Structure 1
Amino acid sequence: MRIAIANDMFMAVEALRRIVVKIPGCYVAWVAYDGVEAVNKCALDTPDLILMDVLMPSMDGVEATRHIMSESPCAIVMVTASVNRYAAKVFEAMGYGALDAINTPALDDDGLLNKIATITRLIGKSSRRRSPPIHRPKSLPPLIVMGASTGGPQALTTILSQFPQDFGAAVVIVQHVDAQFVQGFATWLNEQIPLPVELAIADALPQPGKILVAGTNLHLVMRPNLILSYDKEPLNFSSRPSVDVFFRSVAKHWTGKGVGVLLTGMGQDGAQGLKRLREAGWHTIAQDRKTCVVYGMPKVAVELGSAVEVLPLEAIASACIKFLPNSKLPG
């Protein structure tokens, strides 16, 4: 059974996740950290069951339940620190269609295990293990993927600052930087450009107008259902996260329109992945020698024939926008 988690508390998410994976035949379909995100994700990828927190920012679990049950209905169990304390909200959510409620479990709590088992029988889902089905979003925004290393932060700022605030594409970036500094990098980048920048968390889905940045020393990858995840494999890549690993996973799974960009950096990471994107029908761009701080990664890409275009840094943003419908440079 595919179970989603909607909860703004990381510790609660982890507790729920650990309980879900204990149940034969169950796995976490996605995680949302507020009600708006839960509604949007459910519309794109409706699970069998949502474990819905009652109190969340942006939109609480009650209102999220109302939207979901009217737009993309599924089984919902309300999760709260105290069912008794928030009884009014719990009953309101049940009035919109939530099946039940339970107190936020501890890691060793069997109450939720039993609750999920009951709901599994109720909605007729088998507990027998099987390969999880692939649920793809019905429509995909254009996707821009970028890889960079030495000199990357300034190069990325130059490109991203030219994208308008109403940008219709999703953007995902792999920048070679150690995990202990990546949050600072994302915060700094967010201050330089008009579009919002966030770390790519596990189970995130690329969204129009949002920039996601690889956030750990594991490889960022795209799964068959198009959500982002992290993987320690392959182990034999010196760059972690690897641009190659990410680009290859995107080329394999993303069926929408896309642009791949390989920027300044030492070594050859990303060159083979950019070639895979080109072979999959993507428009691919490598930064030119003159504007690179280190002409390594783009150089190898050019030699391999991975790039459709080789462009100076200042021209890359407009080249990306040319391939996106109804977009234009600001000003």
Structure 2
Amino acid sequence: MSKSTIKVLIIDDSALVRKIFTEELSRDPSIEVVGTAPDPFIGRDKIIQLEPDVVVLDVEMPRMDGLTFLEKLMKHKPIPVIIVSSLAKESSDVAMRAIDLGAIDVMCKPGSSYSVKDMGEQLAEKIKAASQARRRPYTPPATVKRPTAMTIRTTDKVIAIGASTGGTEAIKQVLTALPGNMPPIVVVQHMPQHFTKSFAERLNELCDLEVKEAENNEPLTSGKVLLAPGNYHTVVKRSGATYYVEVKGGPLVFHQRPSVEVMFSSVARFVGRNAIGVILTGMGKDGAEGLLEMRQAGAWTIAQDESTSVVFGMPKEAIALGGVSEVLPLHHIASALIKRLS
């Protein structure tokens, strides 16, 4: 085992899932599955014994559920955790709670061995991102002031936001600090199908803005945030004076669907200088070229800085390409957007 190998522990009560995850991950030379466990009690002992870099954790398990275990783990031995969960609506809500408790990422648990095999590459990507994640990213003070409505130019304006690993928390911080009279906002967060609906509902409860999962041909209107649904690309288009979104299938772009790249590129083409682009925490290059296209079309573009990013991959790539007008810590992004529009 080389020093750079990522050590992974899989905690799942399904022997079949443990076996297939192990086989799939073993295809990647940069990952080594050092152990598996059928429940959190055995998992706890193996974490102490094997010192993995990343834990892949099931939610519904005997003896102790994944959330209870995650909470204990984050308190006593913080370690990057990826939650695997079924597609059920309740599981999506649970996965969102897991993010709140400190999980780095969530992914769907497929229903058959064939579909599990299919997602090996995606799981490997998430593990690599989690292994690079900051254990304790910067969080601003807990007291969040309710945003006050102010005079904002909304005409023809569109804000486009893209994020991946660590993005659920980053998006929440930006959107909860914005007043309810913002121009339309389109968000792409790498997240599985069905989970995006739970995420949108959760944000809608916390924000002054209306937040919902985007629907095909839905118009963009002031005060509304549209979140790209998992497993579908979301592009912004224009018909006369109205902007709307097209939600569609298509190949993975930078291993992702929805892809930030696809969304940013459409915003560059159809909104141009009237857009503001924001690229947040995440691993890889998704969105970097699209943000550059936006900037070249005259849009103002912002990247989250390294000190507040869980993974400084996507912002770093965008900065390196010259696609960024301004680099800011997470807690300054909302006020920068308001200032830009005032």
Shift of 1:202: 0.4
Give the equivalent residue in structure 2 for 1:142.
Answer: 157
CA distance in 2, matches of 1:279, 1:255: 9
Residue in 1 aligned with 2:333? 316
* SS, match of residue 268 in structure 2: helix
Deviation of 1:141 after TM superposition, in Å, equals: 3.4
TM-aligned CA deviation for residue 234 of structure 1: 4.4
Q: Which residue of 2 aligns with 1:157?
A: 172
Gaps of 5+ in 1: 1-138, 326-331
TM superposition shift of 1:255: 4.6
1:203 aligns with 2:217: yes
SS at match of 2:213: strand
Whether 1:240 and 2:257 are equivalent positions in the alignment is yes
Pick one of 286, 290, 297 that aligns with 2:303. Answer: 286
Which of 216, 220, 237 is 1:223 aligned to?
Answer: 237
Render the CA deviation track for 1:32-66: whole Å, top value 9, x for unaligned. Answer: xxxxxxxxxxxxxxxxxxxxxxxxxxxxxxxxxxx
C-alpha distance in structure 1 between counterparts of 2:203 and 2:253, whole Å: 30
Q: How far does residue 237 in structure 1 lie from its aligned partner after superposition?
A: 4.0
Per-residue CA deviation, residues 256-300 of structure 1 (Å, 9 max, x unaligned), is 622100000011101111101100100000000000001110010
Q: Do 2:219 and 2:244's aligned partners in 1 also have CA atoms closer than 8 Å?
A: yes
Structure 1 residues 269 and 216: CA distance shift in structure 2, 3 A: same
- Is the 1:141–1:207 Cα contact (8 Å) retained in structure 2? no
Q: Within 1, Cα distance between the matches of 2:249 and 2:155?
A: 27
Matched, 1:306 2:320: no
2:199 is aligned, of 175, 185, 193, to: 185
Q: Distance in 1 between matches of 2:237 and 2:156?
A: 17
Distance 1:210 1:217 in 2: 22
1:179 counterpart SS class: coil
Q: What is the percent sequence identity of the aligned residues?
A: 45
Q: CA contact under 8 A between 1:141 and 1:208: conserved in structure 2? A: no
Q: State the shift of 1:222 in Å.
A: 1.9
Summarize the alignment of residues 50-61 of structure 1 with structure 2, pairs less than 5 Å apart: none
- Give TM-score, length-normalised by structure 1: 0.54
**Paired amino acid for 1:274:** L
The question of 1:259 aligning with 2:273 is answered no
Q: How big is each residue's C-alpha offset from its partner over 1:232-270, in whole Å with a ceiling of 9 and x where there is no partner? A: 234554111000001001110115622100000011101
Letter of the aligned partner of 1:287 in structure 2?
Answer: Q
Superposed CA RMSD: 1.6
Q: Distance between the aligned counterparts of 1:168 and 1:188, measured in 2?
A: 19
1:158, CA displacement in angstroms?
1.0
Question: What TM-score do the two structures reach when normalised by structure 2?
Answer: 0.52
Aligned length: 186
How is 1:264-275 mapped onto 2 (pairs within 5 angstroms)? 264-275=281-292
- 2:175 and 2:227 map into 1 onto residues whose CA distance is 13
Matches within 5 A, 1:16-31: none
Give the superposition deviation at 1:176. 0.5
Give the match's secondary structure for 1:156. helix
The residue that corresponds to 1:170 in the other structure is: 184
**C-alpha distance in 2, partners of 1:214/1:250?**
14
Letter in 2 for 1:156: I
Report the residue type matching 2:188 in the other structure: V
Query: For residues 148 and 198 of structure 1, what CA distance do their matches in structure 2 show?
Result: 17
For the residues of structure 2 that align with 1:277 and 1:323, how far apart are their CA atoms?
A: 16
- Determine the C-alpha separation between the residues in 1 that align with 2:230 and 2:309: 25
Query: How far apart are the structure 2 equivalents of 1:308 and 1:183?
Result: 31
C-alpha contact 2:237 2:246 (8 A) present in aligned 1: yes
Conserved? CA contact 2:273–2:300, under 8 Å: no
How many Å separate the matches in 1 of 2:253 and 2:286? 12
- Partner Cα separation in structure 2 for residue 203 and residue 252 of structure 1: 17
Work out whether residues 214 and 247 of structure 2, in 8 Å CA contact, stay in contact via their aligned partners in 1: no
1-side partners of 2:174 and 2:278: how far apart? 11
Q: Deviation at 1:223?
A: 2.7
Distance 1:263 1:300 in 2: 11
Unaligned runs of 5+ in 2: 1-153
8 Å CA contact 2:217, 2:246 repeated in 1: yes
C-alpha deviation, 1:140, in angstroms:
4.1
